[in-house]
């Protein structure tokens, strides 16, 4: 929300304190404090208005028609002149000044519409550098073409046992399970197909389920879906389980965003609303369905072509996907319902793939270290290395894993979504128009910059913020506490009416949406807190383990930073420890990479469970030292700059 | 059908060859040859009339009202004078002489009504002599009471993993599976129950399914059902899975009898009728349901108290229970759909027990050697003995197993239902009034006899026939070819109008139904063929294995003979080989005994599959030597009487 919108909120304190809003066609009314946005009022009333961006005013999805009453707020580039004349406003930008009648058009009700293939999606599918050997290609879901010997008087085994025997030979599986309906169809299928059939099998641990037997050879078409169920973004990859390759990817915003940007708010919603859990389960499954549909359409597939879905995500998102009550996750002693649930029929969860296809969940470790982290360890191979590695996954929470083949420890730090581009003045996710790289020649001059998709800039994403903070620090435009230096002779530095300084990166004439792109003082403090939490958590773990960063062989940074993260700048601002740049690697979205590996390999899926079981969880929220370290880390790069010798040199100390 | 009824069929050849019968309230018409019974016409028309006895005129269930037209047939003791005046007849006894309008009352539509606990049922529950050690008591379905340690910050495993860990400790099971609905209920159940719960688990081979988690301690009530799905009789036992004891038993006639007395006729029906398979599946499941209901009522149980059903039966009956197409069973190369199917949710099959309870099928060996035989081997322990044993199970087919712990061979001989008391003039099953033992002092005088339930005699069951044949043979009333000696001065021997002789056992004044009980010449030939088939099959196997009967340690005879089988007489007529009487033992219904053992022990259930897998099947229908041996055995006791030295002595040769 920009300065203008903000300031409007503070006017008119002499008017009535609350207003009534009636939503049509729902016929639901609600009383809210005057100045409340229509979107917030709708949430309070339990009326659904689509809002992909979560109320940031950047998606333009939440248009509503004010039929009666006065609202205040800025006009939006998402509305045409005619629409504005007819009374349309963005619900997130329009604040109620009087009693209102608000009509919600049908188009603002569509939940989580699939977007054009996200530019970030391409990046995820490029992660094929991850270890995977050819002999490991035993996907969770397999198809085997078998030519059975027809029965004779001398060899008159029953159909099922004949099939199982041959399938055992070609698959190496020993104990089978099969649904009654499939067995009932078996004699006709086998005979009509002249005993040449394709058997589909699904891994169920000690048992293998024969999910279908189809005539002829259909074994060449065997597709799976890997899903990263992020709090903010849901990403799906279509995987060729025969070739062991990723075919394509799609991404969308989580349909849960209107209900809260972080998981705790969503858990509270579920606890409060009578059908909250069922509603969230459906939202989550629909997100997956829409991405599956998008990939099916793009690659011209039928619904039956996709046989398995493997999902990774944080513990709450996994609970919501399965319709498990997440309420105990947020309450001491922080306990989930199931961390390593068995596979389920995807159809039972409303996920539309092959009706007999399965949904596999990557296992979670604890309430706040989820399946995304287990998938990350699996993908990066930390658990197989002799030497010590660290995985830092930066999302709404920052999760850290330290360990090697012998032991692993993990922790979670509440970083906030600043590096995800959320809740900052001009923050955005790493999609088209996001500033993801920047160099300043001096206080006035941009040396270089890039945006995702090479579009005109419309905001700043995580890697852009890392660069920006480092450049401002290097040039002395911000000091080590993060304060913007207003004494400097710099036309990019301006001071708001409320005396808060901002650094303007692009003027309105240079941007894709005709608005300034800037970094406000409070944004810097949010980013400072986020980096401090992540660094402090990492340091606490290192200390608890009586290690030093020098003993770590590799630090891998994962997260939705876009295609790019300048490691040197991440060290400079103190997000990452000051070790040799060659020891730090940006590894992208390891959550989906791990889900994909598991989808392609039963062994890897089993390994993921081993990872989850063997991981030690380190609870930071109850560790008094964490707060000390957090405060010490709330400097660029750190209170104790001696810990960052390379930075000390660069900053000329 | 008695002589009178028979002869009526042959009168009036000058009248119209066919008649039309209209059934009301169905409104279905059918054209049949004149003289066809109403029951047969109804079957042809696809109209259901209940007929527990399969058209033998002894159950009185098939009463219908002839509204228009003429029928011929004897009157029945099942009809009152008033009913006869109103036009009621037994459909099986009334033959159409003209076009008819037949009304079927609702009471004749009830399928397979549960009878009073069959006297035979008691016998089955007495088979507790069978081997079973206490440490084997790990039933297929178990309940474990667990007191979980509530989670703390230091021990914050998820609910599911907490449960599985503790359950693993108390049960010894390692890998678990759990349905989504049960997992979803878990957090509430655990907390409301203060972490003290009972977990129900079901064996699924390599996996153990947790089917339910209930508050408090309900582990003491865990009941299972063992079922013997006979072609003719269905028997169920209620089993206390905690104490390892049989609580009670119930039996009923198969609801499939009206569709054919043997499995081949039923298979043909299924193949012919569009919904035949679904119809038979339902009939079979309903039979089980009715027995379960009967036992629940008798022992005041709720539907949720019974957790598992274990069924044994011949291969066709197992197919019909599961709704698997049995058509290939009767066609070369005689192949079933599944011999060792996995367990299924009982509810999926329409069997009403605990909704999450399972149905387990004992495994079959081949199309004609079924799960009843595997159960028999399990119950008798042949597969564990060092010495060689033979199991002969005499039903509609005679099945023979020879072997020991190292190898086993089995065969099936088409004996026909003569020893089941079916298709003979006065044959009946071993229920109340059945003559099951008889001694003749001489041609005229009965020395002793007994009937099932000590009722007035109403017919002859298998063991009665064995005795009768032996007595008649001993007294020279029949010769070794089975021919009745009409030259003898014996008032019990009479000759029918068609010159066929009969031996009258009881005159009409001595019986429970006021009709003669006799043995007709054709009955003797049926019995001779049956015993010849069984003996020939046994001998062929002995020869194929290059053995002699002397090398066999024990011969066990199983089957629905009633409480009793005179072994000496069975040898005398050549049904069993002439070995020392101490080597032959009557073991009763081993099919249900084996099902019960499996129900009580996962190890035994797994053993049953091992038995089925390791058994060699010997196909007799294609063995030319079988016909030779069958012909040779079609003498009392055998063409080659030297094989029966003890009989030779008794018959004074």
Residue A500: pLDDT over 60: yes
Give the CB-side neighbour count of residue A280, counting CA atoms within 13 A.
33
Give the CB-side neighbour count of residue A507, counting CA atoms within 13 A.
8
Contact: B619, A161; criterion CB under 8 Å: no
**What residue ranges in B230-272 does DSSP mark as E strands?**
233-240, 245-253
pLDDT in the model for residue A623: 82
B-interface mutation test, from A181, A342, A616, A620, most B Cβ less than 10 A away: A342
Give the CB-side neighbour count of residue B446, counting CA atoms within 13 A.
15
pLDDT in the model for residue A7: 35
Chain mean pLDDT for chain A: 87
pLDDT in the model for residue A566: 92
A5-14, A37-46, B504-513, B634-643: least confident range: A5-14
CA max distance for chain B: 99
Q: Pairing mode, if any, of strands B358-361 and B306-313?
A: parallel
Residue A119: pLDDT over 80: no
- Mean pLDDT for the stretch of residues B73-84: 77
- Domains, chain A: 3-108 (3.10.20.30), 140-215 (3.10.20.880), 223-369 (3.30.420.480), 372-417+531-650 (3.30.420), 418-526 (no CATH)
A134-138, B9-13, B648-652: least confident range: B9-13
Which residues of B fall within a CB distance of 8 Å from A344? 180
B-interface mutation test, from A161, A191, A374, A613, most B Cβ less than 10 A away: A161
Q: How many angstroms separate the CA of residue B316 from the nearest CA in chain A?
A: 12
Give the residue among B268, B288, B412 at the shortest CA–CA distance from B344. Answer: B288
pLDDT in the model for residue B108: 64
Please list the residues that pair with B554 across neighbouring strands.
B389
Residue A261: pLDDT over 80: no
pLDDT in the model for residue B50: 63
Contact: B334, A619; criterion CB under 8 Å: no
Residue B501 vs residue A58, higher pLDDT: B501
A430-434, A494-498, B475-479: least confident range: A430-434
A102-111, A222-231, B554-563, B591-600: least confident range: A102-111
Q: What length is written for chain B?
A: 653
Backbone φ and ψ of A497, nearest 5°: -55, -35
- Mean pLDDT for the stretch of residues A211-228: 96
CA max distance for chain A: 99
Return the structure tokens found at A473. Answer: 């620090």
Q: What length is written for chain A?
A: 653
Residue B470: pLDDT over 70: yes
Q: pLDDT class for A343, splitting at 50, 70, 90?
A: very high
Residue A1: pLDDT over 60: no
pLDDT in the model for residue B11: 40
Residue A111: pLDDT over 50: no
Q: pLDDT class for A314, splitting at 50, 70, 90?
A: very high
Distance of CA B304 to the CA centre of its chain: 27
Q: Pairing mode, if any, of strands A141-147 and A196-204?
A: antiparallel
Residue B563: pLDDT over 80: no
Which residues of A fall within a CB distance of 8 Å from B328? 159, 187
Residue A118: pLDDT over 80: no
Residue A9: pLDDT over 70: no
Give the residue among A261, A265, A258 at the shortest CA–CA distance from A232. Answer: A261
Instruction: Give the 3-state secondary structure of residue B149.
Output: coil
Name the one residue in this structure whose structure tokens are 């040898």.
B571
ipTM of the complex: 0.80
Residue A9 vs residue B271, higher pLDDT: B271
pLDDT in the model for residue B55: 54
pLDDT digits (tens, 9 = 90+) for A572-607: 999 999 999 899 999 888 999 999 999 999 999 999
Residue A322 vs residue A75, higher pLDDT: A322
Residue B635: pLDDT over 50: yes
Contact: A187, B325; criterion CB under 8 Å: yes
Which of B159, B342, B344 shows the shortest C-beta gap to A337? B159
Contact: A157, B333; criterion CB under 8 Å: no
Residue A260 vs residue A335, higher pLDDT: A335
Q: How many angstroms separate the CA of residue B184 from the nearest CA in chain A?
A: 5
As a whole number of angstroms, the distance between CA A368 and CA A398 comes to 10
Contact: A367, B333; criterion CB under 8 Å: no
Residue B13: pLDDT over 90: no
- Mean pLDDT for the stretch of residues B504-508: 94
- Mean pLDDT for the stretch of residues B547-573: 89
Name the one residue in this structure whose structure tokens are 């629940």.
B296
pLDDT in the model for residue A48: 66
Give the CB-side neighbour count of residue B373, counting CA atoms within 13 A.
33
Q: pLDDT class for B28, splitting at 50, 70, 90?
A: confident
Instruction: Give the 3-state secondary structure of residue A266.
Output: helix
Which residues of A fall within a CB distance of 8 Å from B156? 333-335, 366-367, 617
pLDDT in the model for residue B486: 93
State yes or no: cis peptide before B528, omega within 30 of 0.
Answer: no
As a whole number of angstroms, the distance between CA B33 and CA B97 comes to 9
Q: What percent of chain B has pLDDT over 90?
A: 64
- Mean pLDDT for the stretch of residues B542-569: 89
- Please, are residues B226 and B596 in contact by the beta-carbon 8 Å criterion? yes
Return the structure tokens found at A633. Answer: 């880390």
- Mean pLDDT for the stretch of residues A176-182: 96
- Mean pLDDT for the stretch of residues B369-373: 96
pLDDT in the model for residue A612: 96
Q: pLDDT class for B127, splitting at 50, 70, 90?
A: very low
- Please, are residues B351 and B289 in contact by the beta-carbon 8 Å criterion? yes
Q: pLDDT class for B149, splitting at 50, 70, 90?
A: very high
Other Cβ atoms closer than 10 A to A208: 24
Contact: B335, A159; criterion CB under 8 Å: yes
pLDDT digits (tens, 9 = 90+) for A131-170: 345 556 899 999 999 999 999 988 989 999 999 999 999 9
Residue B128: pLDDT over 60: no
Instruction: Give the 3-state secondary structure of residue A551.
Output: helix
Contact: B159, A322; criterion CB under 8 Å: no
pLDDT in the model for residue A57: 59
- Sign of the dihedral through C-alpha A255, A258, A259, A261: positive
Backbone φ and ψ of A357, nearest 5°: -70, 160
Backbone φ and ψ of A413, nearest 5°: -125, 130
Q: What percent of chain B has pLDDT over 70?
A: 90
Instruction: Give the 3-state secondary structure of residue A647.
Output: helix
pLDDT in the model for residue B124: 33
As a whole number of angstroms, the distance between CA A12 and CA A144 comes to 72
Residue A241: pLDDT over 80: yes
Name the one residue in this structure whose structure tokens are 């069929």.
B9
As a whole number of angstroms, the distance between CA A108 and CA A536 comes to 42
pLDDT in the model for residue A124: 33
State yes or no: cis peptide before A457, omega within 30 of 0.
Answer: no
Which residues of B fall within a CB distance of 8 Å from A204? 177, 207
- Chains A, B: CB contacts under 8 A, how many? 145
Q: pLDDT class for B471, splitting at 50, 70, 90?
A: very high
Q: How many angstroms separate the CA of residue A438 from the nearest CA in chain B?
A: 44
Q: pLDDT class for B5, splitting at 50, 70, 90?
A: very low
pLDDT in the model for residue A58: 55
Residue A214: pLDDT over 50: yes
- Report, in angstroms and rounded to the nearest whole number, the Rg of chain A calculated over CA atoms: 27
Residue A105 vs residue A596, higher pLDDT: A596
Please list the residues that pair with B530 across neighbouring strands.
none
pLDDT in the model for residue B370: 96
- pTM for the model stands at 0.80
As a whole number of angstroms, the distance between CA B358 and CA B348 comes to 9
Angle in degrees, CA B221, B224, B227, rounded to 5:
160
A356-365, A370-379, B129-138, B475-484: least confident range: B129-138
Residue B129: pLDDT over 70: no
pLDDT in the model for residue B57: 59
Residue in B closest to A150 by C-alpha: B333
pLDDT digits (tens, 9 = 90+) for B47-68: 767 654 445 555 566 789 998 8
Q: pLDDT class for B281, splitting at 50, 70, 90?
A: very high
A-interface mutation test, from B338, B366, B370, B371, most A Cβ less than 10 A away: B338
């Amino acid at each position: 929300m920009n300065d203008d919108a903000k300031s409007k909120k503070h006017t008119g304190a002499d008017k009535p304190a609350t207003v009534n809003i009636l939503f049509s066609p729902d016929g639901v009314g609600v009383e809210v404090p005057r100045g409340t946005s229509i979107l917030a009022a709708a949430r309070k009333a339990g009326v659904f208005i689509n809002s992909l961006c979560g109320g940031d005013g950047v998606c333009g999805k939440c248009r509503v028609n004010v039929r009666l009453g006065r609202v205040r707020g800025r006009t939006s580039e998402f509305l045409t002149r005619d629409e504005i004349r007819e009374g349309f406003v963005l619900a997130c930008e329009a604040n109620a000044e009087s009693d209102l009648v608000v009509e919600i058009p049908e188009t603002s009700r569509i939940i989580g519409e699939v977007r054009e293939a996200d530019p970030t999606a391409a990046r995820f599918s490029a992660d094929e550098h991850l270890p995977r050997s050819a002999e490991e290609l035993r996907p969770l879901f397999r198809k085997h073409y078998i030519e059975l010997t027809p029965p004779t008087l001398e060899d008159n085994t029953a159909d099922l046992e004949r099939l199982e025997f041959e399938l055992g030979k070609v698959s190496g599986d020993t104990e089978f399970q099969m649904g009654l309906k499939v067995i009932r169809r078996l004699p006709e299928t086998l005979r009509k197909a002249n005993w040449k059939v394709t058997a589909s099998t699904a891994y169920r641990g000690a048992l293998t389920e024969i999910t279908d037997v189809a005539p002829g050879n259909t074994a060449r078409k065997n597709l799976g879906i890997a899903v990263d169920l992020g709090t903010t973004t849901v990403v799906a990859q279509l995987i060729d389980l025969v070739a062991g390759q990723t075919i394509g990817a799609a991404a969308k915003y989580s349909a849960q965003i209107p209900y809260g940007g972080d998981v705790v708010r969503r858990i509270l919603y579920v606890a409060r609303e009578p059908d909250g859990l069922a509603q969230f389960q459906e939202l989550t499954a629909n997100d997956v369905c829409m991405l599956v549909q998008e990939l099916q359409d793009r690659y011209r597939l039928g619904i039956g072509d996709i046989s398995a879905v493997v999902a990774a995500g944080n513990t709450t998102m996994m609970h919501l996907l399965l319709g498990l009550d997440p309420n105990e996750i947020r309450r001491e002693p922080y306990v989930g319902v199931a961390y390593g649930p068995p596979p389920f029929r995807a159809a039972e969860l409303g996920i539309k793939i092959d009706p007999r296809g399965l949904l596999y969940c990557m296992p979670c470790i604890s309430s706040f270290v989820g399946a995304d982290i287990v998938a990350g360890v699996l993908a990066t191979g930390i658990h197989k290395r002799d030497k010590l590695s660290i995985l830092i996954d930066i999302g709404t929470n920052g999760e850290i894993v330290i360990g090697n083949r012998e032991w692993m420890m993990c922790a979670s730090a509440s970083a906030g979504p600043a590096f995800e581009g959320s809740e900052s003045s001009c923050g955005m996710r790493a999609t088209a128009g996001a500033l993801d790289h920047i160099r300043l020649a001096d206080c006035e001059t941009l040396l270089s910059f890039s945006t995702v998709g090479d579009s005109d800039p419309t905001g700043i994403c995580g890697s852009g913020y890392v660069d920006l903070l480092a450049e401002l620090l290097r040039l002395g435009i911000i000091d080590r506490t993060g304060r913007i230096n207003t004494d400097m002779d710099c036309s990019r530095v301006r001071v708001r009416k409320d005396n808060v300084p901002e650094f303007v990166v692009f003027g309105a004439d240079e941007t894709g949406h005709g608005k300034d792109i800037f970094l406000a003082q409070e944004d810097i403090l949010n980013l400072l807190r986020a980096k401090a939490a992540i660094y402090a958590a990492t340091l606490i773990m290192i200390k608890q383990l009586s290690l030093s960063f020098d003993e770590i062989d590799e630090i891998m940074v994962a997260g939705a930073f876009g295609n790019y993260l300048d490691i040197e700048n991440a060290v400079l601002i103190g997000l990452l420890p000051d070790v040799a740049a060659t020891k730090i690697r940006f590894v992208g979205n390891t959550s989906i990479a791990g889900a994909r590996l598991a989808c392609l390999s039963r062994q890897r899926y089993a390994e993921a469970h081993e990872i989850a079981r063997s991981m030690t969880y380190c609870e930071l929220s109850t560790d008094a030292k964490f707060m000390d370290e957090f405060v010490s880390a709330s400097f660029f790069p750190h209170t104790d700059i001696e810990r960052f010798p390379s930075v000390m040199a660069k900053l000329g100390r």
